[in-house]
Every structure is written in C-alpha cells, then in structure tokens.
Amino acid sequence: MTTKVVVYGLSTEGYSIACKIALNGGDVQIIDESTPSAISIKQDIANSYPSVQALKDDEPLLAMTSIDEAISKAQVLIFAPRIRKTGQDIKIEINSKFKDAVSNIKKGCSIVYGLGTGFGGNSENISLLEHVTGLKVGKNVSYFYYPLSKETTTKSYIGSSDGKENEILKKLLFNDKQFNFLTLTSAEYFYAIDILKQFSSQTSILEVCKFAKDSVTKSALNSEKLGEIFLDDLINGLFDLRSLSSSFEGASSLMYLINGSMKGMDSYIKRLIDETRLILKKNELKASRTKILLLWTLDQHEMKGEKIEKLQELETKLKDYIGDVEAISQPFDIFQNDKTTIVVVCSKYDFDYMMKNNKDNELILLKANPLCQLVSQK
C-alpha cells in the first residue's frame, strides 16, 4: 500500500520534496497555509510545474481535501512552512504553525521537522507535540529532524527520536540511498557545524575584503571567484544561525563565532550603504537627482523570510541618505528616468541578466559582493 504523505507548507522546499515523492510514485498532498485545503500533487503536476510560482500562475484544477482530513490520514507529515515574522515573533509563528500541523495527527504518524533549530530545539518541539496531541513520541508517533534547504544536494543524515533507521522515510526521501539515521542531538550538532562552517568562511572573506581599496587588488581578488559571491548567497542560512544563537546564553567560544558571523553580516550591509554613498561623492551627484534601485530577484515562496527582511532593511537604511530608493524583484523592471540611476545588484542571476541585456550605458552598477565592485560608470 502507498504511504500517505502530507507536506505542511506550500513553500519552495516543501513543494520540491512533495514533487520528489510524487515522482517516486508516492501519495502526497501539500497544505497551503493561506487556504483551508490540502492539494494533491500527482506525477503530471510535478512534471508540469517546476516551482510554486509556476503552479500558482497557471492555477490548474487540483484535487483537494480539507486540511483536517488530510492530516488525520497522514502516515508521514513533513513540516515545511513559510515563516515571515521577524525577531522575537519568529518563535511564536513557528509554534503556532507547528500546533496547526500536528493537532490532527493519529497514532503511527511520522513527523519530519524541516526547519533548522538551535541546540535542544527538537526536545522543545517534541514537548509541544505531545502536549497538543496527547500522543507520545517513541510510543505511538515518531519524530525526525531534517532541515530542508533549496540546495539540490541532500544532507546525508537525518535526526530520529529513537536514533534508528526508518525504512519508509529512507525509500520516500532518499530513494534507498546510503543515509545515516542519527540521534536528534547528533543531527543538531552536525547541522550547527554545517552552518558555522559556512558563515565562518563567509565572514573571513567579508572582513578581509574590507581592506581591498584599489582596483588592482580588487581585480586580483575577483580572479579567485570572490566577485561571484553575492548578498543573495551571503544571507542563505541566516535564519538557522539566529536559531543557533538563541539556544545559548553567556559567553563561550561558540557564541563568539556565532556573534562574529552576525556582526560581520551587519557590518557588510553598512559597508554596502557607504559604498553607494561614495559613488555619489566621487561622481559629484546630488542625492535629489539620484535614484537607487536595489535589484534582487527573490523567491517569495522560500520557507525563511531572511532575504526579504534584509532587502527591506537595506532599503530603509539607504532612504536615510537618498530619498528615491526602490527595491525591484525583476531585472526587466528597470525604466529610464531623468535621474542618475545606481543599480545595486544583489544576486548572480540578476548580475548575469544585466550583463547580457543591459544596453543602457548611463546606469551605474554596484555589485553587492565582498569586493563591492563598480562595473560600469558614467
């Protein structure tokens, strides 16, 4: 009999895993939190619509059932919601959605938690799960920790409440590939190492590149691919880094690493703003005659809203110096106007598009990379 899978959250990551399961012949439904129904994802849908946006744009007729009914029949429930709150409200939003997701599960269900957590985060989730459902993890339901990301490479480990292999999940998620089922604590530690390795490396690059002032040095550093790391890449995983940070108190070497990475990111945003202001100064441009375009093609359906948040922060801070600042999410949204336009390009996709299609020599392009490179200038 086919395993009934429900993915809670019509997010990019949730939809990607639902399509993968559908293409493997699984019976999968996905819950769009903004509607009261669960959508059935069949093989033809998975083949026809590569992304959530494509699915939403076309609005195909899809088989639907109520959320309660779908969850009550689920043998596997994957938690992959879209989180858009910031600061202290994040935890409240996550817990609220997790309660909604698990409140109707039945005995025998396996819950897969797809958001990254800090140390001890899964113990808290299990307590909440047991409190809401009255069921007992390890006795009549199972709990797994598998942080999802947009990367095509899947992690080689998954956390399990009993540390044992689960054949159903192994087949569903990993096509029987070699895979490690670990204790939840071990999976949390491995994921923390992954996140810290990524941010420690990025912070080192950002901090050293601050010293590259002249074009010769910048050009030399660019030849080592540093120019291809964009703000879009730097922000990946910031949500998880913050989750990690909130699970510690007091001073420790690990906390210095985490705080150093977060400060490095804040410092880079400030530097990007300073570099933008410097363009005005060097070119003797008046703020009133200058327009700033923040070009960042964002996936609005990602689970985590860290990039949307950073874009808003950048826009707000730039407006303190230059009145006319606009964030645009498509590279073809650039229109001619009578002001001098500086385009801050925040992703490799946007930069490649501009290089290929931009015929306007009047635009000043600033690459939001560790070198803050100016590409074309009036």
pLDDT, block means (10 residues), the chain with 378 residues: 91 94 91 89 93 89 89 96 92 96 95 96 97 95 93 79 89 78 96 95 94 86 86 95 87 90 96 95 92 94 95 96 90 76 94 84 90 76
pLDDT at residue 61, rounded to an integer: 78
Round to whole Å and give the CA distance between 315 and 319.
6
Q: Nearest 5°: CA angle at 20, between 16 and 23?
A: 135
pLDDT at residue 1, rounded to an integer: 66
Q: Are residues 286 and 331 in the same domain?
A: yes
- Give CA separation, 92 vs 39, 85, 88, in Å: 26, 9, 8
SS3 230: coil
Q: Are residues 174 and 232 in the same domain?
A: no
In which domain, by residue range, is 59 found? 4-181
Helix axis angle, 184-209 to 121-133, nearest 10°: 130
Domain presence at residue 204: no
Domain presence at residue 202: no
Round to whole Å and give the CA distance between 51 and 285.
42
Domain presence at residue 186: no
pLDDT at residue 176, rounded to an integer: 61
Q: Which of 137, 162, 181 is the last residue of a domain?
A: 181
> How many structural domains compose the chain?
2
Round to whole Å and give the CA distance between 125 and 131.
10
pLDDT at residue 225, rounded to an integer: 82
pLDDT at residue 152, rounded to an integer: 56
Q: Are residues 95 and 219 in the same domain?
A: no
Q: Are residues 146 and 222 in the same domain?
A: no
Domain presence at residue 277: yes
Q: Are residues 176 and 30 in the same domain?
A: yes
Domain presence at residue 252: yes
Closest C-alpha among 280, 353, 283 to residue 322: 280
Domain presence at residue 129: yes
364-367/374-376 β-pairing? antiparallel
pLDDT at residue 241, rounded to an integer: 95
Query: What's the predicted TM-score (pTM) here?
Result: 0.93
pLDDT at residue 154, rounded to an integer: 67
- Give CA separation, 371 vs 160, 214, 221, 311, in Å: 42, 10, 8, 19
Round to whole Å and give the CA distance between 214 and 33.
50
Q: Are residues 120 and 220 in the same domain?
A: no
